[in-house]
A and B are shown apart, each in its own frame.
Chain A
Amino acid sequence: MPDSKPDWTRIVRQHLPPLDLPGRREAEIVEELTSELDEAWRAAIAEGSEPDEAERVALARIGDWHALARGIRDAERPVREGLARLGLPTHLPETGPMSNPFLTGIVQDLKIAARALRREMSFSLSAALVIALGVAAAALTFSVASAVLLRPLPFHEPDRLLAIRLSSAQDPKPGPLCEADYLALRELDRSFSEIAASYSRRDFQLAGGAQPLRAGGALVTAGFFRALGVGAQRGRTFLPQEEKPGAAPVVVISHRLWQGYLGGRPGAVGAPLSIDGKPYTVVGVLPPGFRFASAETADVWVLFHPERAELRAPFYLGVFARLKPGVGIAAARAEISRIESEIKQRYPDPGDWKLGVADLKETIVGASRAPLALLAAAVALLLGLASVSVANLLLARGLAVEREIAVRAALGAGRGRLLRQRLIETALLVAAGGALGLGLAAAVSPGLARLSRGALPEVHDLRVDWRVALFALALIALVALAVGIAPALRAARTDATIALGDGGRTAGGRGHRRRHGLFVVCEVALATMLLVGAGLLMHSLVRLGRVDSGVSGERLLAMAVALPDGAYPEGPTRDAFWRRLLTRVRAVPGVEAASCGMSLPPDLLIVTNPFTIEGQAAPPGQSPPLAEELMVCPGFFETLGVPLLAGRTLTPGDDGNATSVVVVNRTMAEKFLRAPRPIGRRLQLGAPAPDGPWVTIVGVVGDVKYAGLDAAPAPTVYVPYAQEGWWSELFLTVRASPGLDPATLAPALARIVAEVDPTLAPAPAKTLAELRSDAVAGPRFRTLLLQAFALGALAVAMAGLYGLVAQEVLRRAREIGVRRSVGASGRDVLVAVLRPGALATLAGVLIGLPASLLLARLAKSLLFGIAPLDPLTYATVPVALALAVAAASIGPALRALRVDPARVLRSE
Chain B
Amino acid sequence: MAETEDLNLAAMQKGSATLLVLALIEERARHGYEISTLIAERSGGRLQLQPASLYPLLYRLEAQELVAGRWVEKPGERRRRFYRLTPRGRRALEAHRRSWRELFLALDQVAQIGHA
Contacts and interface: CB of A to CB of B under 8 A. Distances in A.
Given A35-B31, A39-B33, A412-B65, A61 B50 contact: yes
Nearest to B63: A412
B57 interface: yes
Contacts of B31: 35, 39
A369 B64 CA distance: 60
A75 interface: yes
B91 interface: no
B52 A32 contact: no
Nearest to B69: A32
Interface stretch (B4-12, B76-84, B97-105): B76-84
Nearest to A79: B63
A72 B55 CA distance: 7
Interface string B24-68: 000000011110110000000000001111011101101111000
Contacts of A76: 59, 63
Interface stretch (A62-70, A680-688, A887-895): A62-70
Nearest to B66: A412
Contacts of A411: 63
Interface residues of A, number: 29
Choose among B31, B51, B53 the residue with the greatest number of A CB atoms under 10 Å from its CB. B51
A71 B33 contact: no
B63 A68 contact: no
Nearest to A67: B52
A146 to B, nearest CB: 50
Contact of A75 (B50, B56, B65): B56
A410 B62 CA distance: 10
A29 B50 contact: no
A72 B50 CA distance: 13
A702 to B, nearest CB: 87
Given A35-B31, A67-B52, A72 B79 contact: no
A759 to B, nearest CB: 91
Contacts of A410: 63-64
Contacts of A629: none
B50 A32 contact: no
B93 to A, nearest CB: 16
A39 B65 CA distance: 26
A71 B56 contact: yes
B63 A36 contact: no
A39 B36 CA distance: 11
A35 B79 contact: yes
B32 A32 contact: yes
Nearest to B58: A75
Interface in A20-46: 28-29, 31-36, 38-40, 43
Contacts of A43: 37
Interface residues of B, number: 23
Contacts, number: 72
Contacts of A67: 52
Contacts of B64: 410, 412
Contact of B56 (A38, A40, A68, A79): A68
Contact of B63 (A38, A62, A71, A78): A78
B67 to A, nearest CB: 10
Given A35-B79, A40-B33, A410-B64, A63 B50 contact: yes
Nearest to B64: A412
A411 B65 CA distance: 8
B65 A64 contact: no
Contacts of A38: 78
Contacts of A738: none
A362 interface: no
A64 B31 CA distance: 21
B62 A71 contact: no
A35 B63 contact: no
B81 A75 contact: no
A862 B50 CA distance: 84
Contact of A32 (B53, B65, B81): B81
B13 to A, nearest CB: 15
B55 A71 contact: yes
B60 to A, nearest CB: 4
Contacts of B56: 68, 71-72, 74-75
B57 to A, nearest CB: 7
A414 interface: yes
Contact of A35 (B52, B57, B80): B80
Nearest to A414: B65
A72 B54 CA distance: 10
A29 B81 CA distance: 10
A68 B81 contact: no
A411 B32 CA distance: 21
Contacts of B52: 62-64, 67-68, 71
Interface in A856-907: none
Nearest to A34: B78
Nearest to A417: B65
Contacts of B63: 75-76, 78-79, 410-412
Nearest to B31: A35
A33 B51 contact: yes
A29 B65 contact: no
A76 B58 CA distance: 10
B81 A35 contact: yes
A414 B62 CA distance: 12
A344 B107 CA distance: 110
Contacts of B57: 71, 75
Contacts of B51: 33, 36, 61-63, 68
Contacts of B33: 35-36, 39-40
Interface string A703-726: 000000000000000000000000
28 contacts: A28-B81, A29-B59, A32-B32, A32-B55, A32-B81, A35-B79, A35-B81, A36-B32, A36-B51, A36-B55, A39-B80, A61-B36, A61-B51, A68-B56, A71-B53, A71-B56, A72-B59, A74-B56, A75-B55, A75-B57, A75-B59, A75-B60, A76-B63, A78-B63, A410-B63, A410-B64, A412-B63, A414-B65
Interface of A: 28-29, 31-36, 38-40, 43, 61-64, 67-68, 71-72, 74-76, 78-79, 410-412, 414
Given A35-B79, A75-B55, 12 more contacts: A32-B32, A34-B78, A40-B33, A43-B37, A63-B50, A63-B52, A68-B51, A72-B55, A72-B56, A74-B60, A75-B63, A414-B65
Shortest 6 CB-CB contacts between residues of A and residues of B: A71-B56, A39-B33, A68-B52, A75-B56, A75-B59, A75-B60
